[in-house]
Amino acid sequence: MTETSRLSLIALASSCLVLAGCNDESFDVSKQYGPDPVLPAPSSDLLPALKVAEVVGWRDGQAPRVPEGLVVTPFAKGLANPRTVHTLPNGDVLVVQSKAPPGKPINRPKDIIRNFIMSIASGSPEGQPETNRITLLRDTDRNGTVDERVELLTGLNSPFGVAWYEDTLYVAAADAILSYPYALGQTAIDAQPTVLTPLPGGPINHHWTKDLALSPDGRFLYASVGSNSNAAERGLEAEKGRAAIWQVDRRTGAARIFASGLRNPNGLNFHPETGQLWTVVNERDELGGNLVPDYLTSVREGGFYGWPWSYYGQHADRRVVPPRPDLVAKAISPDYALTSHVAALGLAFTHDSAMPAAYRNGAFVGNRGSWNRNAFNGYKVIFIPFENGRPTGMPQDVVTGFLEGEQARGRPVGLAMDGTGALLIADDAGNTVWRVAAADGSTTPQPIPTDRVSAQAASAAPDSRRPTGEAPPVGARSQPSQTDIAPAVGPEDGAGAAQGPKPTAP
């Protein structure tokens, strides 16, 4: 981009900010927490609301803030856009670092403005190492300090989610779930990956982050696939297999849509007591600064959550054509609203952790932070208490200080409990993984992995590792179209069809 073009974009973006600032921002966001959020009337402005926090990073000695009884320290610095953290059964921590894949087409003038604004909001320090990699962090003596750090995988295609089971590491890249032979304790992966199953990818790949979770019985992987648009403005064909959570058989790669109508689900996690799958979801934009609330929800098998035809249950989005009142009538209301545009991306349950008692029964949620409303929202990690496997009451701000005035020192994304029972936070703008622990130094007797597989299931399950040679290595086949590989099963197809076939291999 030339300097003239850059200055023109700055001027245009500034005009957008000034005009958008005329909107009323007196709304009490606390009324949008919980199962029954206040939903104002939708609005449609010529210039959508924008307010951008420039990323400035953390200076030496700076750190987020935590309440009394907790202490926060950097677990790893000098990373390259850390997005997710994942604790293995032996306590080793994997940090997934990535950026969006290049080449997404720009269809509307406002997309140019949005991309420029997001570049300001993301930051890219000089001298930052190459991203799209997975780094292993090892705390050998379990004292909260990394003793060994190695680059486990590099040169990946915008990775995000990971899972491990039976000497196999699974990585959700921007267009496929890959599997690597990997035994716990190894500090290198030399084998080429195999494709377990392709996922909807380019050329658009609007919501490119694909998260992963392993089922409690170890049989299935669950993968999140976000929508290819804000509200289906690119047409429904571009959304085939998207705005959904896939269920993938680890043995065969056979996949089906497990739940749909979820605009951009991330933070997939199974509740350690109930075994229920949960996710946090980023909802749609351009209906006003206070619509639509992002949310935390349990995920029902075969459930439809409204996107694109409705939001927060059965509130129809009149922009979407053709209308589908039949699908709106089926839409499930989420369990817990998180307020609008907080960009919730991380989720970690706290059961059996070493956190203080006040945080032992509930979930931490990482809110990366808004850019598309007139007043900042998010930029923090909150705690939501649970009772009997369900969220209850108001959330508590736990990790703050990522936003100072108009500037962002960092932006929290993925969360996990580390091998000692402390909370880890992937700060993708601050290029740091933060560790939040009990101030009294409490630790768990042994590591608790991110993916918890019951001992009974692990001993009874057959060896589900794919035989060598069953799937071709990456690059051995041409990249399929997302409309060819997606199961493309939606609520209109009925429960029987939801057992859809394995995605077509080209």
Report the CATH number that the domain containing residue 278 is assigned in CATH. Answer: 2.120.10.30
Asked if residue 149 belongs to a domain, the reply is yes
The DSSP bridge pattern shows strands 54-55 and 407-408 to be parallel
155: alpha, beta or left? (left if phi > 0; alpha if psi -120 to 50): left
Asked if residue 404 belongs to a domain, the reply is yes
User: 348 pairs with which residues across the strands?
Assistant: 364
Tell me, what's the pLDDT at 114? 58
Residue type, 161: G
Pinpoint the alpha helices (H) of 89-138: 109-122
d(CA 71, CA 284): 35
Tell me, what's the pLDDT at 110? 57
Asked if residue 491 belongs to a domain, the reply is yes
Place of tokens 């589908």: 324
Neighbours of 237 (CB within 10 A): 10
Tell me, what's the pLDDT at 189? 98
Q: How many domains does the chain have?
A: 1
Tell me, what's the pLDDT at 455? 65
Asked if residue 39 belongs to a domain, the reply is no
Asked if residue 34 belongs to a domain, the reply is no
136: alpha, beta or left? (left if phi > 0; alpha if psi -120 to 50): beta
| Local mean pLDDT, 10-residue blocks, the chain (506 residues) | 44 45 70 98 80 94 98 98 98 98 69 58 67 98 98 98 98 98 98 96 94 98 97 94 96 95 98 97 96 98 97 97 95 98 98 97 97 94 98 97 97 98 98 98 97 68 40 45 59 45 33
d(CA 237, CA 493): 16
Asked if residue 46 belongs to a domain, the reply is no
Pinpoint the alpha helices (H) of 267-397: 325-328
> How many residues belong to the chain?
506
Asked if residue 196 belongs to a domain, the reply is yes
Tell me, what's the pLDDT at 505? 33
Tell me, what's the pLDDT at 5? 46
Long-range contacts of 21-30 (CB under 8 A, 24+ apart): 21/51, 21/374, 23/49, 23/288, 23/289, 23/374, 25/289, 25/373, 25/374, 25/375, 27/289, 27/290, 29/290, 29/339, 29/340, 29/377, 30/339, 30/394
What is the domain range of residue 380?
3-23+52-497
Q: By C-alpha distance, which of 149, 27, 18 is closest to 95?
A: 149
Establish how many alpha carbons lie within 13 A of residue 384's alpha carbon, considering only the half-sphere containing its beta carbon.
25
Tell me, what's the pLDDT at 106? 66
The string over 336-368, giving b where at least 16 C-beta atoms fall within 10 Å of a residue's C-beta and e elsewhere, is bbbbbbbbbbbbbbbbebbbbeebebbbbbbbb
Query: pTM for the whole thing?
Result: 0.89
